């Protein structure tokens, strides 16, 4: 989000688009501003959907500071470097395919070197300390309770008092105190990831009991328990609970593999901040004898032959990383269990599996889903609908507008309904990508520029999700046809449909547009 005051301009966060392939393609486009004229960046936390475009920003000329907490800066070094390596690997992988097809080479979005250069711009600031990111802007950070180092941003600019929530954590979260923020505001920008969902309210002990049940059931089946887990925060929370359950002899004594170099590095940062965290009694629980950190890729592949283990691997939405080969080697096994513990965005492989797909496509291969699929919502690092609603109400009556961001359409609308149920006259805005607003003190926001409808339609599943689903089930559907001759007829019918569609498109292109002069006549 960009905030401008006269000739000065700052960003709050600069993250990667995540979700469907069409949405991710937006990362390749140009920024809606000149990176060289941005005066400062304030970063709420180190998740890639909030920081993942910082290397691109720096590579295109940004040289200012990236203001954040010390813990965020410590995590950022590893998060950005890992993202740069992934960009380089993905470009290399795509180019191997493109060489065979004779296509132009694919350039990485940014490199690991770009990522480290961006991290070096980070400038740590303590919670509660006022700072001036750019002339005319006064800011301070508040605990957001989301992940290690996460913060909400309070700003004074142009006479307006503004608060940007960043991502907010739930109540009673392990490691961190509940979110805190000021009152007496003009404008608030609040996330709405779970704006239409209320989770079961569980204590940490009750959550551990849920995990205990899933672990016992999974190990009793004789297979692995595979947990797609975000490398940052979710992995560490799971390790805390697994260690506590193991110490109390509440789960079988089985190896716990953390198969993510990034998660291993992030865990070291957690260890270095152990004195700042709740629920650990000052003890480094991440050095538990049952926990084994897997660094080498060959060691990771050897886990394909393991049974009766707990395997935590990134990414949390199953879109990249080592989790994909663990899914490929476990989804088809009836004795295996896959446990989801985090939000799965529309269009991601994790969402497809969680929604009940019987077959999925992973790295070009069709995989039957026979494993047990389980879900525990209580590990979410996000506040749910009721907690977001409470956080907004705790800010008091606003002098201006409430913006609901960072959520899918139904989530935003669900939270908007709750807020306007409290005050039907409240100014509640669901901003679209590309929209611009004036934020006057003591008055509702004024729209200066409309957003791009085409960009907002990219959220959710796209044609590539439909294609993957179609191609994954095509062979099975053909085998359900009794005779080989009828199968060929079905394929011929599909070809005719595509050919007729393409012919119709060409015909439409060839037609003169409405109101056009016939081609044989000239204007005099």
| In CATH, 2-198+382-456 is 3.60.15.10 | yes
Whether the pLDDT of residue 516 is over 50: the answer is: no
What pLDDT does residue 105 have?
Answer: 82
Whether the pLDDT of residue 331 is over 80: the answer is: yes
Percent residues over pLDDT 70 in the chain: 92
- The larger pLDDT score, comparing residue 364 to residue 304, is at 304
Residue 430's pLDDT band, with cuts at 50, 70 and 90, is very high
Residues 6+ apart with CB under 8 A from 371: 223, 226, 330, 331, 332, 333, 334, 336, 337, 338
Whether the pLDDT of residue 190 is over 60: the answer is: yes
Whether the pLDDT of residue 475 is over 80: the answer is: no
Residue 352's pLDDT band, with cuts at 50, 70 and 90, is very high
Q: Are 216 and 251 in contact (CB under 8 A)?
A: yes
Residue 515's pLDDT band, with cuts at 50, 70 and 90, is very low
Residue from 33, 38, 44 nearest 9 by CA? 38
Q: pLDDT digit string (tens) for 99-156?
A: 555 677 888 999 999 999 999 999 999 999 999 999 999 999 999 999 999 999 999 9
Q: What's the pTM value of the predicted model, to 2 decimals? A: 0.82
Residue from 478, 471, 475 nearest 364 by CA? 471
What pLDDT does residue 519 have?
Answer: 39
- Mean of the pLDDT values across residues 477-495? 85
Exposure string for 212-246, b = 16+ CB within 10 A, e = fewer: bebbeebbebebbbbbbbbbbbbbbbbbbbbbbbb
Whether the pLDDT of residue 466 is over 70: the answer is: no
Sign of CA dihedral 415, 420, 425, 426: negative
The pLDDT mean for the chain works out to 90
Percent residues over pLDDT 90 in the chain: 69
What are the DSSP calls for 126-180, one per residue? Answer: -TT--EEEETTEEEEEEE--SSTT-EEEEEEETTEEEEE--SPPPTT-SSSPPP-
Whether the pLDDT of residue 434 is over 60: the answer is: yes
- Mean of the pLDDT values across residues 450-475? 64
Q: pLDDT digit string (tens) for 25-46?
A: 788 888 989 999 999 999 999 9
Answer yes or no: same fold for 2-198+382-456 and 204-379.
no
What pLDDT does residue 455 have?
Answer: 59
Q: CATH for 204-379?
A: 3.40.50.10890
Residue 522's pLDDT band, with cuts at 50, 70 and 90, is very low
Q: pLDDT digit string (tens) for 296-326?
A: 999 999 999 999 999 999 888 998 889 999 9
Helix pair 261-272, 70-101: axis angle to 10 deg: 170
Residue 465's pLDDT band, with cuts at 50, 70 and 90, is low
- Mean of the pLDDT values across residues 462-481? 70
What pLDDT does residue 408 have?
Answer: 87
Q: pLDDT digit string (tens) for 90-111?
A: 888 878 765 555 677 888 999 9
- Mean of the pLDDT values across residues 196-201? 90
What pLDDT does residue 496 have?
Answer: 86
Domains of the chain, by residue range, sit at 2-198+382-456, 204-379
What pLDDT does residue 210 have?
Answer: 96
- Mean of the pLDDT values across residues 388-404? 97
Among the ranges given (73-82, 147-156, 293-302, 513-522), the one the predictor scored with the smallest mean pLDDT = 513-522
- Mean of the pLDDT values across residues 434-448? 96
Whether the pLDDT of residue 521 is over 80: the answer is: no
């Amino acid at each position: 989000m960009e905030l401008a005051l006269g000739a000065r301009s700052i960003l709050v966060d600069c993250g990667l688009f995540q979700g469907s392939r069409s949405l991710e393609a937006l990362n390749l486009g140009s920024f809606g501003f000149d990176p060289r004229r941005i005066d400062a960046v304030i970063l709420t936390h180190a998740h890639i959907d909030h920081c993942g475009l910082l290397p691109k920003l720096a590579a295109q000329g940004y040289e200012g500071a990236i203001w954040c907490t010390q813990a965020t800066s410590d995590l950022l070094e590893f998060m950005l470097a890992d993202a740069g390596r992934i960009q380089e690997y993905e470009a290399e992988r795509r180019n191997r395919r493109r060489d065979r097809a004779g296509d132009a080479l694919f350039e990485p979005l940014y490199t690991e070197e770009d990522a480290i250069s961006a991290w070096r711009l980070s400038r740590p600031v303590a919670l509660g300390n006022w700072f001036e990111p750019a002339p005319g802007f006064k800011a301070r950070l508040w605990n957001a309770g989301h992940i290690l180092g996460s913060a909400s941003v309070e700003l004074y600019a142009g006479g307006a008092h503004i608060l940007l929530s960043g991502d907010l954590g739930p109540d009673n979260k392990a490691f961190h105190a509940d979110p805190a923020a000021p009152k007496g505001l003009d404008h608030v920008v609040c996330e709405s990831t779970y704006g239409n969902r209320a989770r079961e309210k569980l204590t940490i002990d009750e959550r551990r009991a849920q995990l205990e049940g899933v672990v016992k059931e999974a190990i009793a089946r004789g297979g692995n328990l595979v947990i797609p887990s975000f490398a940052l925060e979710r992995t560490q929370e799971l390790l805390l609970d697994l260690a506590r359950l193991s110490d109390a002899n509440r789960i079988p004594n089985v190896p716990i593999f953390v198969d993510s170099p990034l998660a291993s590095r992030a865990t070291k940062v957690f260890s270095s901040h152990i004195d700042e965290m709740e629920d650990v009694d000052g003890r480094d629980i991440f050095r538990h004898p049952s926990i084994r950190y897997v660094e080498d890729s060959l060691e990771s592949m050897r886990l394909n032959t393991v049974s009766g283990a707990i395997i935590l691997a990134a990414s949390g939405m199953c879109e990249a990383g080592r989790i994909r080969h663990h899914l490929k080697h476990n989804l088809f096994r009836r004795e295996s269990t896959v446990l989801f513990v985090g939000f799965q965005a529309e269009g991601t492989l994790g969402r497809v599996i969680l929604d009940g797909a019987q077959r999925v496509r992973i790295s070009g291969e069709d995989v039957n889903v026979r494993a047990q699929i389980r879900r525990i919502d209580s590990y979410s690092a996000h506040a749910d609908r009721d907690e977001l609603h409470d956080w907004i109400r705790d800010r008091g009556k606003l002098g201006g507008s409430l913006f609901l961001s960072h959520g899918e359409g139904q989530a935003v609308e669900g939270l908007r309904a709750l807020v306007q149920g409290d005050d039907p006259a409240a100014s509640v805005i669901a901003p679209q990508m590309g929209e611009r607003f004036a934020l006057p003190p003591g008055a509702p926001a004024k729209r200066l520029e409309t957003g791009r409808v085409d960009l907002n339609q990219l959220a959710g599943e796209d044609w590539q999700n439909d294609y993957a689903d179609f191609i994954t089930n095509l062979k099975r559907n053909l085998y359900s046809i009794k005779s080989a001759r009828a199968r060929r007829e079905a394929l011929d019918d599909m070809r005719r449909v595509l050919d007729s569609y393409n012919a119709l498109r060409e015909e439409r292109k060839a037609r003169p547009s409405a109101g056009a002069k016939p081609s044989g006549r000239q204007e005099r």
